[in-house]
Amino acid sequence: MIVKPNAAASSFDFVHPNCMVFTAHGRLFVGDSRGQIAVWDVALRQGNIYADNHFVIKHKELEGDEINQLIVHPEHENKLFVYSRDNCIRLVEYESMKGPRVRKRFFGIRCRDLSVRSCVSPDGQYLVGGSEDGVPCLWSATTGEAFSQKQTKRYECRFLDMVSDVAWNPKYNMFALTGFGHNFPAMVYVYERSEEQLNEIFYSNAGGTTAASSVDVSAAVEGKGTARGKEPEV
């Protein structure tokens, strides 16, 4: 089988591809070592593979820095999370009337020399990034605001080397991370609501019309229900 057109063979003459990702509809994005993203619509027709509608995403903030990873936004296929080797992850909208636009920037990670990766929650609300300094970073993907070091200190994660990869569980509110080095673990974190959050949910559902007891909430907090009353921890 042959990939057509020939643009697929010529786009990386002077650079090398670093990462790639497909959308659910078959669009292929390939990030390269010079900070550009090549795009094709790939389809299988009559036993042959065709790569059509080729174009390149370029932005002045991306050019010159290697791209470690591309993530298609779970809710918007025209937006990409682009992890570059300039200590920044960007949310890029590539199909706007004014050309590619950086919608958000996520700072706090350290990435200059190595292939470090990140992940997005299935609902597109949170972004977790690995880092060369051994400490993961967590952001609100909707606002771009990073959670403070005080909030993430309870992760109890300080690898001697980098946090190389992170992955979000598609079924549970859970993510895992790992790093380089001897006997470094794969650590799994699960989000658990606090008692204050559970009470807020309970009383908002009740509408404040009854003097309902907080027995159910307390049971959940004590670990007798399906939720537990702690912030994220292993």
| Domain annotation for the chain: domains and CATH numbers | 60-191 (2.130.10.10)
Per this entry, what is the length of the chain? 234
Average pLDDT over the chain, rounded to whole?
Answer: 79
Residues 6+ apart with CB under 8 A from 107: 87, 88, 146
Of 88-92, 149-153, 167-171, give the range with the top mean pLDDT.
88-92
Specify burial of residue 136 (Cβ count, 10 A radius: 0-12, 13-18, 19+).
buried
Residue 150 has pLDDT above 60, yes or no: no
Which residue is it, tokens 């070592």? 33
Give 156's pLDDT tier (boundaries 50, 70, 90): low
CA distance 178 to 205: 39
Residue 32 has pLDDT above 80, yes or no: yes
7-21, 117-131, 146-160: lowest mean pLDDT where? 146-160
Contact 85, 63 (CB under 8 A): no
Q: What share of the chain is helix, strand, coil (3-state, %, to 5)?
A: 15, 35, 50
Which residue is it, tokens 């200590």? 87
Contact 83, 115 (CB under 8 A): no
pLDDT of 209: 41
State how far Cα 222 lies from the chain centre.
32
Q: Which helix (H) or strand (E) holds 41?
A: strand 37-45
What are the two backbone dihedrals, phi and then psi, of residue 166, each rounded to the nearest 5 degrees?
-135, 150
Residue 69 has pLDDT above 60, yes or no: yes
Contact 37, 23 (CB under 8 A): no
pLDDT of 38: 94
What share of the chain has pLDDT > 70, as a percent?
74
pLDDT of 152: 56
Q: 177-228 pLDDT, tens per residue?
A: 888 766 677 888 887 777 787 778 777 765 544 333 333 333 333 333 333 3
Report which residue type is found at 233.
E
pLDDT of 25: 92
